Chain A
Amino acid sequence: MTDATHPTAASGARPRRRAASPARSEPAKRAQFDRPLLPWAFLAPQLLVVCIFFYWPSVQAITSSFYLEDPFGFGSTFVGLDNYKDALGSAEYQRIAGFTALFTVLVTGFSMGLGLLFAVKADKVIRGRSSYRTALISVYAIAPPVAGLMGMMLFDQHIGPFVKLAAWFGYDMKVGINYNDTAFAMILVSVWKQVPYNFIFFLSGLQGIPASVREAAVIDCRNGFTRFRTAILPLLAPTAFFLLIINITYALFDTFAVIDVMVKDKPANNPVTLVYKVYNDGFRGNDIGGSAAQSVILMVVVLVLTLIQFRWLERRVHYG
């Protein structure tokens, strides 16, 4: 859409090409599936997986969220929207929601930023490039609970080297007691765990940029940073967009194990994310209705977030 307003030759050419291609390929597609059931047969396994592992539990969660249920499943009372009101009205829930938002922004921002930085630097290395890359990627092989355990040791009040380092600067770091200290430790471990993933994708994205484009850019612009911003970054946009969605999902859900290990299953005053609260209320507190309502809220948030991303952000991404 925005392309059309640019009078440059390169972007002006693209809409014409796009307009032409569907006309060519459509008859071919029809010819491939002349039997109407065949596509459904191909789709069936995937549809089955989605139904069993997504739609069915989602419907159950939505149903439970309107009931107050006995933990053992002996009886339930319909309470309408009470579970939602209780969750959204609670100061504790609002505090956790606020932290989750901040946590997601910081973890996504730092892990993508650092991943990109390392990828750009590693892309330039010529001597010993594979050993640098292996060193950077290997962290990705660590499972989240193990990463959490390592974080717990590094920030342990009695033996943690980070705590000693902070003490050296005159700061009394108390991970597990001080809210901000724990938040810092969690964000650090979560970012550290995710950087290699972003690194792999950014690196392969960089290597997919043709040498001719880079050489042309060098001729056009001598400033390295500007060249990166105006030529390389737009070409990385599809990778970055994909990573953005993956990283937000990671920060919202996959950091659960890191958090669980780091708070040693006693959250107390420590920051936790919404998904941890869902788990804590549902599986620890046996409050199934309240927990289901919270997970539905979370589901809606992620749905809206993803829609916004596709509606607003993807328009600005160039798929070369």
Chain B
Amino acid sequence: MKNPIFATGVLALSATAALAQPVQITWWHGMGGANEQVINQVAEKFNAAQAVCAITPVSKGTYEEALASGIAAFRSGEQPNILQVFDAGAATIINAKGATIAAEDILAQNGHTLDREAFIEGVRYFYADATGKFIGMPFNSSAPIMYINTEALAKAGVEAPKTWAEFEAIAPKLKEAGYIPLTASQLTWMFFENYFSRNNVQFASNNNGYDGFGGTEIDATAPEMLAFWNRVKDWHDKGLFGFYGAGWSDNQKPFEEGKVALWIGSSGSFGGLSKTATMPFSADFLPYDETAAEGNKSTFIGGAALFAMSGKPDDQNKCTADFFDFLTTTEIQAFYHQATGYVAITTAAYEKSKADGWYEQHPVAEVGIKQLMLPQGEWSKGYRLGFYPQIRVVEEREFNKIFSGETTVEDAFKAIETEGNELLARFAKTSG
């Protein structure tokens, strides 16, 4: 407060105005397209449900852009009340202790309670600290699942695969039937991070990074990982796996057009895909690696969480807390889940959707949540790695090189490990 007289004036003004006008809070997020419209609907529902607060959602582009704008805004004191941060950015925001107010704290300070047990198990750890306290408010949670072009499978006379070995058995038949057997969007999430979780392989030292940043290193060259990627490369070379670059939609598009039999996407793609797909589709779990010792575990929770930014006046924080509380209501959770395909994050919302008969009409919508409710392995709870968005950039580069034949699987993962560990060491220095 550089000018106390001005500040009191503003406070006095806003106090009198509060009677007539609601307290304004802002919510920056990284959603576009169909999902952005659902976010606007959630905000409208909140504004209609009460008169004290008014929330304005603002799309900042992609997840990465939302995080970047949030950080830049915080540095200049212009931060929004609520910032959506995606899975890969979790370590960055959770480590910035003074930048956010823990979701559990802001709720408690404003007379709400948060029942951790009400959330499905897969959601509880990812945005929480070591003691299990929710720092971020889980919001849109997703799982990587396999979408199935049912026509293609019928034409080839095959069943959807549960394991990668089963995929290898049916892939030539799908190819013969005139389809590209498999594509996947965002391999960093599907075939790297969630290879670790789905097959219960340790991702990083220090308990996947949860026990501290100092000395944390990733194990990209785990033998299981290398063996799996050699298979992926082999599929690609035989025309069984289509790779169209690091962009999400480039790999989704051929599936929408009905040229591809199986596509690994997000459970959150369901809402959009229902509108764009030109053929009937179903979905199933992300296949697991039958050679891994403890495969078929739950995947990491993907998507994003909402963080309450610090440095805001109390009346706005109260509104933020009210909004968080509103989001966890069964009605809103069920609405959001059904409109987007992001998984229901509370057990109650899942039960409500079941009772509504939603899954009988839309069996695809249940796949993500079922996958997240699979038994958790030791290594499928989550990871906490600093500068992880940058490590993903390295992964994307090396994956591209593998498919363009510029490097071998072994060299690529060696590079990911080396450069990833350098970045982790840098992060440990900045946070130390």
Contacts and interface: CB of A to CB of B under 8 A. Distances in A.
Given A70-B431, A72-B96, A285-B387, A269 B397 contact: yes
Contacts of B244: 157-158, 176-177
B393 interface: yes
Contacts of B431: 70
Interface size class of B (residues with CB under 8 A): 35 or more
A269 B400 contact: yes
B92 to A, nearest CB: 6
A57 interface: no
Interface in B47-69: 62, 64-65, 67-68
B396 A179 contact: no
A221 B390 CA distance: 62
Interface residues of A, number: 34
Interface string A70-111: 111110010100000010000010000000000000000000
Nearest to A284: B64
A55 interface: no
Contact of A286 (B62, B71, B399, B403): B71
Nearest to A290: B426
A157 B250 contact: yes
B400 A270 contact: yes
Contacts of A281: 390
A152 to B, nearest CB: 10
A174 B403 CA distance: 11
B430 A177 contact: no
A186 to B, nearest CB: 14
Contacts of A310: none
Interface in B388-429: 389-390, 393, 396-401, 403-404, 406, 419, 422, 426, 429
B430 A77 contact: yes
Nearest to B76: A73
A156 to B, nearest CB: 8
Given A72-B75, A72-B98, A286-B387, A266 B396 contact: yes
A72 B387 contact: no
A248 B342 CA distance: 47
Given A267-B396, A284-B390, A286-B387, A71 B254 contact: no
B246 A268 contact: yes
A284 B392 CA distance: 11
A286 B400 CA distance: 24
A283 B397 contact: no
Given A174-B404, A177-B244, A267-B397, A286 B99 contact: no
B243 interface: yes
A71 B92 contact: yes
Given A68-B430, A268-B400, 16 more contacts: A70-B96, A74-B99, A77-B429, A92-B397, A158-B257, A176-B250, A177-B243, A177-B244, A177-B403, A179-B406, A264-B246, A264-B250, A267-B397, A284-B64, A285-B393, A287-B426
Interface of B: 62, 64-65, 67-68, 71-72, 74-75, 92, 96-99, 243-247, 250, 253-254, 257, 387, 389-390, 393, 396-401, 403-404, 406, 419, 422, 426, 429-432
